Amino acid sequence: MTLALDETSQLSDDVLLVRYGNGDLTAARVLAARLTPRLMGYAVRVLHDQAEAEDVVQETMLRLWKIAGEWRQGEAKVSTWAYRVTMNLCTDRLRKARGVGMDEVPEPADDSPSAEAQIQTSARVAALHSALGDLPDRQAQAVGLRHLDGMTNPEIAAIMDVNVRAVESLIARGKRALAAALGSRRSELGFEDEQ
């Protein structure tokens, strides 16, 4: 039985995936619309390449659709599983491209309305990405998932396959390292008036 789109959009990710496994294409569309933007944001931030990020997210969704028929509700969150697959695929692509440094990859285009805001935002983003790139991989992943993707520490722990205390430690060390790296650039980045 296929539900109407507005009824389907109220269902949990688990239920949507099971329904897709049983042939409900509306459930697949709703779940893809829910997951894809967040996965894209993460992949673009890590890979600094829109096309590569699109490939990673497409591969993640293909893998999700392949396992839909065997998905067992309650064992894992669909979003956690998808983030973990996306994170692993991004890591694999970065390892293959080790010859190109993270700082050499161009930033994605910013759609800010004014040129001044765009320049300021670009400088801040570049500084943050540069500082994140200098962090150990696990710290950068934890900080990014928490503060850029808005995930909770338990969700990050599930994605990274560590306990919550390890996530808290990774985030705290990462934030201290970022503050040290960016602290001397407050005026340059336009934060001189901010506390």
Model pLDDT, residue 192: 62
Query: In angstroms, rounded to a whole number, what is the distance separating the alpha carbons of residues 18 and 15?
Result: 5
pLDDT for residue 3? 55
Domains, the chain, in order of start with CATH, read: 8-102 (1.10.1740.10), 112-195 (1.10.10.10)
User: Going residue by residue through the chain (195 aa), what tens digit of pLDDT does each one get?
Assistant: 555 566 777 888 888 888 888 888 888 899 999 999 999 999 999 898 999 999 999 999 999 989 888 877 777 789 999 999 999 999 888 888 765 555 555 555 545 446 666 676 777 777 777 888 888 989 989 998 998 888 999 999 999 999 999 999 999 999 999 888 888 877 777 666 554
pTM: 0.61
Residue 12 amino acid letter = S
**How far is the C-alpha of 133 from the C-alpha of 99, rounded, in Å?**
15
Q: Which amino acid is at 38?
A: R
